[in-house]
Amino acid sequence: MAPQDKNTPPPLPEPLRVAVADSHTHLDMQDGTVDEALAKAASVGVTTVVQVGCDIKGSQWAAETAAAYESVHATVALHPNEAPRIVLGDPDGWSRQGAREPGGDAALDEALAEIDRLAALPQVRGVGETGLDHFRTGPDGIAAQERSFRAHIEIAKRHGKALVIHDREAHEDVLRILREEGAPERTVFHCYSGDAEMARTCAAAGYFMSFAGNVTFKNAQPLRDALAVAPPELVLVETDAPFLTPAPYRGRANAPYLIPVTLRAMADVKGMTEDALATAVAANTARAFGY
Ligand SMILES: [Zn+2]
Ligand SMILES: [Zn+2]
């Protein structure tokens, strides 16, 4: 691929005949306006998006955007990598909110109170992304991350909202904490990354599994094996845009309008027609987020 191609948006895929939702996106991290992103997505049959908050500002923005657009639903949370940052501080300021001083448990409680307030809003359909990220957070941050995860589970249950899980290299601990706390009625593993055995565990518990563009990657056979055994009534599709652009556009910016690329690859894995999978996914997403 020539270097300039990295900056060229992938072309519009063939439209889906059955409209679906992008169950997990970050419009606030993508180029262009919200109107442009939604119009482009709708033109290929992606008529609904779930806008996911990762910190206080992002969660407030998600709630405001969902209030302004019929086709946008919001989820609100402190990302698993945000919680330790609030407690322990972040002198380098890698996140969008910049450097900050250590705030300790009191700062985390204050942030969680704002998430709790936002979670009560009607256009907020879920609490997340929360969970555990053992890839990005070292041993010093794990206690804060777990405390935050448990608090988000409690908030989701109290408000009757879906729980959106970010699980990066932390499968066993995520499943354990869900068992210990008692999972909300509707729980979604976003960017599902477990193997087939874990997919059976999730299916038995009734957890939704949302697949992202990485299911198309050459080295992702274990993920395709997991998708193959996941019951069609628990499968969702997402972009996690601007991340995880599906093949053959890896390395370029992802956006909700690329959902058809991932959905078609998923239909192949499941041995279903595109229309049958889209019909299932559309119903599952509406059920998961209660819209
Ligand atoms: Zn995530
Ligand atoms: Zn995300």
Does residue 75 fall inside a structural domain? Answer: yes
The per-residue pLDDT for 195 is 98
Number of domains in the chain: 1
Q: Report the pLDDT value the prediction gives residue 56, as an integer from 0 to 100.
A: 96
Q: What is the pTM of this model?
A: 0.96
CA of 106 to the centre of ligand 1 (A): 25
- State in Å: Cα 242 to ligand 2 middle: 9
Predicted pLDDT at 91: 75
Residue 283 lies in a domain: yes
In angstroms, the CA 55 to CA 92 distance is: 17
- Ligand 1 centroid, distance to 119 Cα (angstroms): 19
Ligand nearest to the CA of 81: 1
For the beta carbon of residue 248, count every other beta carbon within 10 angstroms: 11
- Centre of ligand 1 to C-alpha 192, Å, is 9
Pairing of strands 72-76, 124-133: parallel
| pLDDT value at residue 201 | 98
Q: What is the pLDDT along the chain (291 residues), one digit of tens a residue?
A: 454 577 889 999 999 999 999 999 999 999 999 999 999 999 999 999 999 999 999 999 999 999 999 999 999 999 999 999 999 998 777 666 677 889 999 999 999 999 999 999 999 999 999 999 999 888 889 999 999 999 999 999 999 999 999 999 999 999 999 999 999 999 999 999 999 999 999 999 999 999 999 999 999 999 999 999 999 999 999 999 999 999 999 999 999 999 999 999 999 999 999 999 999 999 999 999 999
Asked if residue 138 belongs to a domain, the reply is: yes
Distance (angstroms) between ligand 2 centre and the Cα of 211 equals: 12
Residue-range definition of the domain harbouring residue 128: 20-161+172-289
- 192 C-alpha to ligand 2 centroid (Å): 11
The CATH number of residue 153's host domain is 3.20.20.140
Cα 243 to middle of ligand 2, angstroms: 8
Classify residue 254: in a domain, yes or no: yes
Dist. CA 107 → ligand 2 center (Å):
23
CA of 25 to the centre of ligand 2 (A): 6
Nearest Cα to 187, choosing from 161, 169, 211?
Answer: 161
pLDDT score recorded for residue 9: 92
Residue-level pLDDT at 99: 78
CB-based neighbours (< 5 A) of ligand 1, an ion: 129, 166
- How much distance in Å is there from the Cα of 63 to the middle of ligand 2? 16
Question: Could you tell me the distance, in angstroms and rounded to a whole number, from the CA of residue 123 to the centre of ligand 1?
Answer: 21
> Which numbered ligand comes closest to the C-alpha of 75?
2
In a domain, 115, yes or no: yes
